[in-house]
Structures are given as C-alpha cells and as structure tokens.
Amino acid sequence: MDSEYIAFVRDIAEQQVDPQQRAANISNYKAIRARQWGVDSLPPSKILDLVDQDPEMAHTRYLQEFIYDPIVKLLPPADQEKLASASIVALPNRSVNGCSLLCPNGEPLIVIDSGLLSLVSFWYERKAEVQRLSKIKPLSDIVEFNATTYNFLLDNYRSQGTYGYLPPSTETPETLLGWAMLMTTAAEMFVVLHEIGHIIAGHLATSPANAFRLFPSDKPEAAASPAINIYEHPWQAEYQADGIAWLAYQNLWPRHETFAKLAGGSAPILPKQAPLHFFEYMALIETNIPPSGAVPTHPPAAGRLNMLVRVTQQLLKDAELANWGAEILETASHMPRMN
C-alpha cells in the first residue's frame, strides 16, 4: 500500500472539512439513533468504536473492515491476486460514483465519497419513513416530505466542506430501520464491487488517465492543490464493471458476514434486488446536478440499470428479479427535477 500517497490525498481532502461541524454531526446522529432504538445511549459496537477513536478515518475503516475485506475474501483466488496491492479510502469528493486511480508506485486505489455513506443511509431511512407516513398522512404531506428529502440531498452535492445533517425520524418502526440498513449496505457493496470490477477487468491498464481536481471547492487553497490522475473509463468499460459487480454481488451476498445478518429476516427477493434501488438515488442526483468536472462521468443511471436487467434475464435467468428491475427502472427514469 502506498501509504505516503494516500496520506497526501487525505491531507488535501481534510481542507474541505470543518472538524467542529463533523463532531456536531456525529453527536447529533448518535443521539437520534439512541432515541430511534428507545435507549438513553447507544451500546458499544465496532462501528461506533471506529467513529469515537478516529472520526477522520471512520468511514475508510468501515469500508475496509465491514465491506471491502469481506468481499475480497469471497472472490475467486485469481481475482484476489489482482487485488493484492489495492487499497480503498473514503474521501469527501462529492461524487455519487466511486473512482479508481493508480498510486505513483503503481498500486490501485479505490476512492469512495465519504458523504455517500451517510447520504445513502439518510435516503433509505426517509424512504422507509414514507411507508409509515403513507398510511396516516394525505398525499400532499408525502409530496412535501419527499421534496424536503430531495432538496437536502441535492444541497449537499451542490455545497463544499462538511456534509449537512438532517435528523431522521424517531418514529420509524424498527423493521423499517432494518430495511433501510440492508439497502444502504447493499449500495455500499455494489459501489465497491464496481470499482473492484475495473481492477479485475484490467481497465486501469487500458483506460486513459486524465488529471481531475478530486475535491471540488471554492476554497483557494483547495483550488490550488495538485490535480489527481483518475481513470476516465469508456462507457463500455463502465457497463462491464457493472456486470462484474452485479454477478459477483449475487454470488457472494449470502456469504458476506455483515450483509447476511441484515438479510436474514427479510423477504428472499429483497437482498437480491437491493442494489438496483441505488440507481434511483443516482438518477435523482443526475437529473438535478450537472456532471462534475472534478471526476469522470459514468453512463446515465437508467442506462446502467437497463443493462443490469438484461444481464439478470440472460445470465442469471431470474425472471422475478428481472421484473423487479424493470419496475425500479421505470421509477429511476422519472425522477423529479427540483426547483
């Protein structure tokens, strides 16, 4: 692992973050979580330990220990060998998609937006809350609730620095919170698997590497920071990485320790289809936020989702899952444009 280069990139990233605001967000989040679960304070956990010990590295260590490492251990030996020198880091680069690059020593580095982990969790909790509200509130209230959700997410992608915080409801039932956690973890797994797919397929050796400013910011010190060479994969390579990620996900999710525990009490189809719902989130952002000049763009979410439906039909031969994918595609194709 090229630890010096990763530290260099992290130093640039930290220029974007207000430590006091981050600490306040963590405190607010833990308080809301405790009330959701009906306790005075959250019991000790491995994830909370990461946050308390080192908030700057918490997202990276979470991705490494709970998502990335368990995935790699379940891949075929030949793929594990290709990933032997790869690293992963969470940085505030305000991108819905991950990106991949090579460190100066030639080792692959996967970069995932640190805010994505929090924002996707918020997205699914709000979707879960809509299910509760739809039974007791008029349609006009549901529309207003969704608009608040959408605008909060979009404002975060339009801004710089520390991500904002909008507390989730304390009234969402435990079963719906469990659903939201499962969906969030599935999205994290798919994003990581997509970048793994680029490495496995050898795209870092064939795609052009162009200089991009990894952290879009209006701050003079950040604007003057060095550009980072990120691989701008052709759309064909992006579709291939999606296909690799999708097939790998379907093969390994029942054996992924963290995810299998979440999936145990759900309907059998839910963990299978969970990553597809993430494309609704991507479509919302794409519909309202212009493509960023900070990192390369991916194909439209609807096109990627349509491809995965075809893969499900032709390779997985799972008609039920393909039908769910078609319904999700319909939703993703009509995400609202907010004012």
Phi-psi region of 312 (alpha: psi -120 to 50; beta: other; left: phi over 0): alpha
What would you report as the CA-atom Rg of the chain, rounded to the nearest whole angstrom? 19
Residue 331 pLDDT class (50, 70, 90 cuts): very high
Three-state DSSP at 211 gives: strand
How far is 325 from 309, CA to CA, in rounded Å? Answer: 6
Query: Could you tell me if residue 284 is inside a domain?
Result: yes
pLDDT at 69 over 90: yes
Position 163 pLDDT exceeds 80: no
Q: What is the mean pLDDT of the chain?
A: 84
Local structure of residue 193 (DSSP, 8 states): H
Say if 338 falls within a structural domain: no
Residue 339 counted as domain residue: no
Cβ count near 57 (within 10 Å): 15
Is 306:326 a contact under the CB 8 Å cutoff?
no
3-state secondary structure of 306: helix
Minimum mean pLDDT range among 204-213, 274-283, 290-299, 302-311: 290-299
Rounded CA-CA distance 121/277 in Å is 13
The answer to whether position 155 is within a domain reads yes
Domain count, the chain: 1
Residue 91, phi then psi, degrees to nearest 5: -135, 150
Centre a 10 Å sphere on the Cβ of residue 18 and count the other Cβ atoms it contains. Answer: 11
Query: Which of 79-93, 155-169, 224-238, 311-325 is predicted with the least confidence, judged by mean pLDDT?
Result: 155-169
Lowest mean pLDDT among 164-168, 206-210, 316-320: 164-168
Tell me the residue range of the domain where 174 lies. Answer: 3-332
Q: Average pLDDT for residues 312-319, to the nearest whole number?
A: 96
Q: Is residue 337 part of a domain?
A: no
**In this structure, are residues 93 and 295 in contact, taking their beta carbons and an 8 Å threshold?**
yes
**Model confidence at 222, in pLDDT bands (50, 70, 90)?**
very low
CB 122 within 8 A of CB 168: yes
In terms of pLDDT, which residue wins out, 181 or 19?
A: 181
